[in-house]
Amino acid sequence: MRILGIDPGLQTTGFGVIDVHGHKLSYVASGTIRTTKLELGDLPGRLKVLFDGINEVCARYQPEAASVEIVFVNVNPQSTLLLGQARGAALTALVANDLKVAEYTALQMKKAVVGHGRAAKSQVQEMVRRLLQLPGLPGTDAADALGLAITHAHAGMAMARMAEVSPLQRRQHAMYKAGRSY
């Protein structure tokens, strides 16, 4: 299975693609989609760059599933709203490419990759490098995206096994608390 991880951001969106064969993880590609060449006030233009960039990544690498980071609420509500719009553009691009999308919080990703939810960015980078046997450290945004793909590789298999036994149902009351439960 090929999984695309997306770490959304209005200025820089990270992406990471991995292949999963049983329990073996293989690196395919990673990078960033940057909107910094556009003016800060050009929100529609920035969202279009993100949408088109993710469409290009999907066309090039043909993922079968995707995972996206769930936005947390910042101290600055305006920043949270802008990040949410970038995340919406990413989700729309993934769904437009007929991908099933899983969502994980940064805390869930860090627990899955590093072992504790308060890990520093450098720790995520190092563990992603080790897990995927990369020759060097990926950038922070790409490392987070690869971490989301790794999280889905592990959690997605477990959730699929659980779904075989008992159908998973979306719980509306927990959606906006400490992460989403499906």
What tens digit of pLDDT does each residue of 15-40 get? 999 999 988 999 999 999 999 888 87
Out of 19, 39, 64, 69, pick the active-site residue: 69
For the CA atoms of 56, 59, 65, 70, the dihedral, rounded to the nearest 10 degrees, stands at 10
- Contacts of residue 78, defined as CB under 8 A and 6 or more positions apart, other chains included, come to none
How many whole angstroms separate alpha carbon 55 and alpha carbon 35? 15
7 given a catalytic annotation: yes
Out of 126, 141, 144, 164, pick the active-site residue: 141
C-alpha closest to that of 97 among 68, 63, 148: 63
Average pLDDT, rounded, for the chain: 88
The pLDDT of residue 14 is above 60: yes
What tokens appear for 76 in the block?
């600055």
Give the C-alpha distances (Å, rounded to integers) separating 151 from 82, 110, 155.
25, 9, 6
19 given a catalytic annotation: no
What pLDDT, on a 0 to 100 scale, did the predictor assign at position 45? 96
What pLDDT, on a 0 to 100 scale, did the predictor assign at position 39? 86
69 given a catalytic annotation: yes
